[in-house]
Each structure stands twice: as C-alpha cells, then as structure tokens.
Amino acid sequence: MNKKIGISLLLGTAVSVTTLYFAFRNVPIKELLEYLTTINFVWIIPTVVAILFAFGLRAARWRFILASNYPVGFWQAFHPLMIGFMINCVLPGRVGEFARPLVLNRKEAVPVSTGLATVAVERIFDLIILLLLFLAVSSFVRIAPGFNVTFGGYRLDYEVLVTVFNGMLKIGFLMVIGLFLVTLGKTRELANRLILSAPELLFFASTSSRDWLKEKVCRPAVRIIENIASGMALIKDPKRIIICFIYSLAVWFFTALSYYLISIGCPQINLTLSEITAVMVIICFVIALPSVPGYWGLWEAGGVFAMVLFGVSESEAAGYTLANHAVQIVPVVLVGLVSAWVSGVNIRQVYEQPQ
C-alpha cells in the first residue's frame, strides 16, 4: 500500500477515535459500559446478515444499472462496491465513491466516467427514497419547535433537519436535471461541438497548439461526456427505472431491518420497525453534514436525537446508537478488506493508474 494511503488510513482512524472520545466525554462512561454489557449479542448475527444482504442488493442494483452497456457479474460488482464503502468508513471526504469506479475500471475495463455516472444514478435513487421516507416520518413524528438535543458537541433540532432536507432536495434536483441533459442526444451533440471548436477561439495561438488542445483536452472531454451518457442509459427506459426503484426500496428496507434487529437485543429499546426506520432516516440526514471518517459523533448525535423523540432516555439511546454504529461499520470494513484481497486490488495501483 502507498505510504500516503497508509498514513491517511492511520490519520482517519486517529480522527475517528478522537471524535468518538469527544462525542462521549460528557456521557457517564460507567453507565454506558454497563449498558453495553447487558446487550444480547446473539442479535448481532441476524443484524449482520441483514446488513450484508442489503449490500448484496446494492451490488445487484449497480450491476443492473451497468448492464445497460457494460454487463458484469454479481461478484465483479460486489467487490468494488464493498471496497468503496470500506474506504468511506476509514477515509474522509467519501472518496470511496471514486474508488469504486476506479476498481471496476481496473478489473472490468469499464470507463471511469461511466462508472461514476452509474454511482450518481444510484445516489439519486437513494436520495429519492430518503426524501420520501423523511416526508413520511414528518407526517407521524411531531418535533416541538424548541426541542433540541446536544450530544458530543453537536446541537440538533428540527431546523437542522429541514435545512439538510432542503439541501438534499436541491442537490437531487440539480443532479437529475444535469444527468438528464447529458442523455439527450441533441444537447450532448451541441456540447461536444462547442468543446471541439473551443480551441479555434484561441486565434492568437499557433495551429499546432490548437491541434494539441483539441487532441489532448477536447476529445478526451467529449469521450467523458459520451461515457457519462452511457452510464445514464437506464433512465431512458421506464421499466428499468421501476426495477431500480424496487431494488432501492429493498436496500433501505433491509437496512432499516438491521437497525431493528439489533434493537431487539438492547434493553429498554422497545421501538417498532416504523419508529426504528424513522431513527435511521434522521441518522442518514444528520450524517449528510460534513463529518469525519465513519461519521463518528454525528451518527450518535442523530441517533440520540431521534430516539429521545420516542421516549428513550439519552443514556440508553447513546448505548444503542454506539452499538448499532459499530455493528453497521465493522462488517463493511472487514468484507471490504476481504474483497480487496480476493480481487487482488492494490489501492496504490488503483489511484495511480492512468485515467
């Protein structure tokens, strides 16, 4: 592994541990540890099964999106996906989203820009599901105007959630419009013509310089646009959109189920599946804010905020949220490492390969 990547992993771990400390420094650690010892860890087994099944569905969905132009096998999609999510857990900036198409390009020769486009399509479906779930949660969960929770240095209230919702709605709208325009043949042709003719505007440059720009900059840019359009092929077919939407619903159902299963083994956590789903949605909205690797601190703050709404005490909510967070992340990291080993992926080579 590249020295810089190794240092980044160590720094990411150090930041996560430090953030975890600050998140729980004002929580009675003795009581928290006592709570954790009362958890029935037998429920971790079905929880992990549900988590991995959800990721299997994610891989199947990604494979389905790719199949429009680049058919790949299930495992050829699963390993890059798990490597990407593993990197998201240990490095900042969600760089795993970029690592996934890089790995796919190295193993299956799918253009990186096409891979990124398909990841963007996935994120749009996830965003739509989460926005719909948030609207559903808002219809049966009433948050008093003055209600707020401060945990680990993070202060959360209804205004924060609404701000995140509006931000995600705007981002989703812009992504849909942008990607849709790329798929339109006439729009794409116009963009390609403008890009290829751009060097001619540099009338003061020599002919050889303009030719160099056209070959080395403009034509690669046109190929990237075409590759992105290739990755967007799914959105031209209503039937495939519906199937992908069903995949996405299944992904989030099993994710919510994993939250619920671990709660069964936690004392004093007697929430229904719908209430646990609301907790999951609020956590997902909160960790959309800028955070450290693994979302330590923000995840716990979101979980405590959500569970207190349903009458769970702050200490019990902190215990459940911490346990659930660890159970959600550790299997992903371990499976991601196994995927890297099985597929023979060297992270340094992935990031250094020519694009």
Domain count, the chain: 1
Kindly give the pairing relationship between strand 148-151 and strand 154-157.
antiparallel
Q: How many CB atoms lie within 10 A of CB 73?
A: 9
pLDDT at 121: 85
- Residue-number span of the structural domain to which 11 is assigned: 3-352
Q: Phi and psi for 312 in degrees, rounded to 5?
A: -80, 135
Lowest mean pLDDT among 31-35, 45-49, 143-147: 31-35
In sequence order, which residues have a C-beta less than 8 Å from that of residue 34 and are 6 or more positions away?
none
Q: 333 with 83: CB under 8 angstroms? A: no
Cα 285 to Cα 3, 134, 306, distances in angstroms: 34, 9, 11
Q: Which residues pair with 155 in a beta bridge?
A: 150
Q: Is it the case that residue 146 has pLDDT exceeding 70?
A: yes
- pTM attached to this predicted model: 0.81
Q: Is it the case that residue 15 has pLDDT exceeding 70?
A: no
Q: Is it the case that residue 329 has pLDDT exceeding 50?
A: yes
Q: Is it the case that residue 1 has pLDDT exceeding 50?
A: no
Q: 148 with 20: CB under 8 angstroms? A: no
C-alpha closest to that of 106 among 287, 351, 304, 298: 351
Q: Is it the case that residue 74 has pLDDT exceeding 80?
A: yes
CB burial class (10 A; 0-12, 13-18, 19+) of residue 322? buried
Output 320 or 203, whichever has higher pLDDT. 320
> Which stretch, 162-176, 223-237, 259-273, has highest mean pLDDT?
259-273
